[in-house]
Homo-oligomer: A and B are copies of this chain.
Amino acid sequence: MPNQAEGVFIHDKAIVETDRVGAGTRVWAFAHIMPDVTVGTNCNVGDHCFIETGARIGKNVTLKNGNMVWAGVTLEDGVFVGPHVFFTNDLYPRSPRLPQAADRYRNQDWMRPTVIRQGASLGAGSVILAGVTVGDYSMVAAGAVVTRDVPPYTLVVGNPARARSAVCECGQPLEKNKKNVKGRAAVLTCAACGRRFTRNKKGVRPSASKARRG
């Protein structure tokens, strides 16, 4: 296995084939990181994870166990990926070994990129369809199936996933009893951390005052 930066921990039952793992990152048992992958600093890659060449992982990312991050998937800084989340990169998959599908897999035009923006969380066993973007600090509920883009600061639930409420950067839902974030303009304050947000037709954003403080 390639040499690693100082402060990288790699369990002796893991396989790491890249030398681009950031300082402070830990890789646990039976995980496998393929060649040329870059993993940022201060991440956690749980047992039984698999990271494919062509995936991109920022810093401060937590990958719980059993995750498979394919080519075409980007996890920005501070993302949380719960246990066994399902990423995909092909909307109409066939076995590339099937003669009738050989044309489709002659090049990589079939690949649809997925982007998980900074600070977002993906719940246990959620399914992220190829081609979607999950917005900044959004949260996907456990078991949800995400079939379209998720706006920033939004909690989505169900199959297919639908917006349930706004959510704070710290993870707390902002309006517990509202079923829908498409309401009228409002100022939302997080009961847990005090951060403030503005919601209008364009969606939910941190309030200017808070942006200044942050």
Contact = CB atoms under 8 A, between A and B. Distances in A.
Given A50-B65, A60-B98, A171 B92 contact: yes
A55 interface: no
Contacts of A66: 48, 50, 66, 68, 84
B86 A84 contact: yes
Contact of A50 (B48, B99, B167): B48
A170 B104 contact: yes
Contacts of A183: none
Contacts of A143: 86, 127, 145, 159
Nearest to A60: B97
Given A142-B127, A145-B143, A97 B42 contact: yes
Nearest to A155: B92
A127 B140 CA distance: 14
Place the interface of chain A in its size category: 35 or more
Nearest to A42: B97
A35 interface: no
A195 B192 CA distance: 50
14 contacts: A30-B32, A44-B97, A50-B66, A59-B97, A60-B99, A65-B68, A86-B143, A93-B123, A94-B119, A101-B170, A101-B171, A104-B192, A127-B143, A143-B145
